[in-house]
Each structure stands twice: as structure tokens, then as C-alpha cells.
Amino acid sequence: VTDARQKLHFDMLFAVARKAGCVDENIKLEHVTFGSVLGDDGRPFKTRSGENVKLKALLDEAVKRAKTVVEEKNPDLPDEKKEKIAEAVGIGAVKYADYSNNRTSDYVFSFDRMLAMQGNTAPYMQYAYARVKSIERRGQIDIENELKDIKALNLSAPAELDLAKHLIRYSEAISAAVADYRPNYITAYLYELAQKFSSFYNACPVL
């Protein structure tokens, strides 16, 4: 798993390994390439010159920025709760942004885009998850227990049927992601799922 610019190197390495008899035909050699992370100037971060950001600093900055957003939106929350939310949102934003990009494409690193509440971002996904949990909390129910004895489903509303059809495609998304080494297939599936759930949530009151 390396930068796409090393493709020729690995093509040659794999060819030599087979010719030398180090690897037989039953073993699959795969170079999983990824694009470059670009700065605001559109140029790749360079590790040798030291201008790249260390992971710890990156995560700390993401949490710090998420905390600012939490302070603006929910100033009355207890400090401990703010810290917990900021960590979940900040670190989730960095991880999700990395997974959601097509791994072979270059992308411009942007905290603002990672922490946006709209679009294919971690905060949007976390908000969708919070909506699901709010149904449980407000209804004082355990969804898994509610569902375990159901033998048949009556899906009549269009938004409900659309959501159900998408849910049963989950294994397809997983299989495709594994086959092509592309985690972004899963994030794309989940983003569409969150959108379909939002439509269902608005159209079909369930409490």
C-alpha cells in the first residue's frame, strides 16, 4: 500500500519475484495505490522537507476545531460533555474523510470540509446516527428487542420501502469494497443510507 507514483517500482519488483521463483502462481501480488494528500496550493505534502503534519497534531487540531463548533451550537452543555463530543466529532471527521475519498485520487486537505455538517462528512453521519438513537430514547424502547420477534414486515410508505431496499444492499457494498480495496464504496453506501433514513424519518413518524 503506497503512493501511486511508485507503481512502476512494484510492477518490476513483482516481476522479478516471480522470475526468481520467490513467489509461485498461486500467490497474488497486488500493489494497492493511493493518491497524494495536497495542501492548499495543490501540491503534495512532502515528508522529507518536514512540512507535513504529524498525525497527533492533526487529530489534536481536529478536536480543537470540533470543540469550537460544539461551543457555538451548544454553549450550555457541561464541559465534560463538550469534550466528549468534540473528540468523537474531530477524530471521526479525520478518519471518515480519509475513508471517503477515492483512494487513487489526489485530494486537498481541508478541516472546514471535514467538519461540515452537510455533505458526505463524519458530522453529517454522526447526526444521522443521533437521530436513530433519539427514537430509542424518546420512545424508551430497545430497538433490537422490539424487532427480534417480528416475523413479517409490512412496508407500505414509499420512503420506508426505499430505505429497506437500500439496507439489503449492505453486503454488496462490503463485497465491492473488499474486492477493489476501496473503503470509499462503504462510506458512499452509508452516506446514501443516511439520506434515505432522513427522508424516512421525516415522512414516517414511528413513535
2-26 pLDDT per residue, tens: 888 899 999 999 999 999 999 988 9
Q: Under a CB-based contact definition with an 8 Å cutoff, are residues 24 and 53 in contact?
A: no
Average confidence score pLDDT of the chain: 88
38-88 pLDDT per residue, tens: 777 777 766 555 566 788 888 898 899 899 988 988 899 999 999 999 999
Q: Under a CB-based contact definition with an 8 Å cutoff, are residues 120 and 187 in contact?
A: yes
Reported as a pLDDT band with limits 50, 70 and 90, residue 140 is confident
CA pair distance 190, 122, nearest whole angstrom: 11
pTM confidence score: 0.79
Q: Which residues contact 67 (CB under 8 A, 6 or more apart)?
A: 82, 83, 86, 90
The predicted structure's pLDDT at residue 116: 79
- Cβ atoms < 10 Å from Cβ of 195: 15
The predicted structure's pLDDT at residue 50: 58
